[in-house]
Structure 1
Amino acid sequence: MNEVMEKTEALIRKPINQPDEVRTFLDDKGRLSVFGVGGCTLGRGEFQPGWRWSMHVKPMAGTDSCKAAHTGIILSGKMCVHMDNGEEVTYQEGDAFYMPPGHDAWVVGDQPCMLIDFTGAEHYAVKH
């Protein structure tokens, strides 16, 4: 990140088209734009049709399932999340979500899934 702020005594503005970092998924199936804002790390995820965590992020993460906890909002499209324990939910545009660690996920349908992640972006899709 360009900056880490321990105090938020100043106003901060970061245009969505100027992230601090962009992490591209394998096979060009999307990307995570990462923003450091007021001591928080936010992510704007763009997941293309055909994207699946186990195919396009797992090789970078080096874990059997996603170990990040994600809290956010689906801006457009649909994403299905399958937990290691068998639970499964499909999120769609307008849904707020929480995805605990231990899951796979994939885009549903032929439209990209766009989301904002408030809690899981700091270490997501980082090559190990």
Structure 2
Amino acid sequence: MPGIVRKNFDSADEVRPFEDGKGELDLVNTDRGPVGRAVFEPGWQWSRHVKPLAGTDSCQAAHAGYVVSGRMKVVMDDGTEDEVGPGDFTAIEPGHDAWVLGDEPCVMLDWVGFGDYAVSA
């Protein structure tokens, strides 16, 4: 493994578009696993724009990420909810829905849950 690894999301190893043009996931692969940058456009909601790809009732990915810009609401299957915004670190367990709040895209980085995210089941 090299001492320094540099990758750029603008030259991602893989790009996964969301349904209806509501954003995309840019994925870079590293020796330590994939890292993703997702741009969720206003109006994006997991249950409308990723669920058709995932084929599950709610998002079953665990996430550990950082919100670069925009805001998102997350609602767990048990009803627990929270909002995340710029500068927030968030850890989200499997079993949730989420959607963009407001009219600004939500940009998030994730070190855990984007490897298998937005992939056809």
TM-score by length of 1: 0.92
Name the counterpart of 2:24. Answer: 31
Residues 70-109 of structure 1 aligned to structure 2 (within 5 Å): 70-109=63-102
Greater than 4 Å deviation, 4+ residue runs: none
Name the counterpart of 2:35. Answer: 42
CA contact (8 A) 2:9 2:27 kept: no
**Which residue identity is paired with 2:39?**
E
After superposition, give the CA deviation of every residue in 1:71-98 in whole Å (9 maximum; x if it has no partner): 0100000000000000000000000001
Structure 1: 5+ residue stretches without partners: 1-7
Q: CA deviation at 1:40?
A: 1.4
**Partner of residue 120 from structure 2, selected from 94, 116, 127:** 127
Q: CA deviation at 1:116?
A: 0.2
**Which residue identity is paired with 2:105?**
P
Provide the identity percentage: 49
Name the counterpart of 2:14. Answer: 21
Name the counterpart of 1:4. Answer: none
Q: Secondary structure at the match of 2:113?
A: coil
RMSD: 0.9
**Distance in 2, Cα, partners of 1:10 & 1:20:** 20
Structure 2: 5+ residue stretches without partners: none
Name the counterpart of 2:62. Answer: 69
Which segment is superposed worse, 63-72 or 36-45? 36-45
CA contact (8 A) 1:12 1:38 kept: no
TM-score by length of 2: 0.97
**Distance in 1, Cα, partners of 2:66 & 2:49:** 21
**Structure with larger Rg:** 1
Name the counterpart of 1:51. Answer: 44
**Which residue identity is paired with 1:61?**
A
Q: CA deviation at 1:10?
A: 4.1
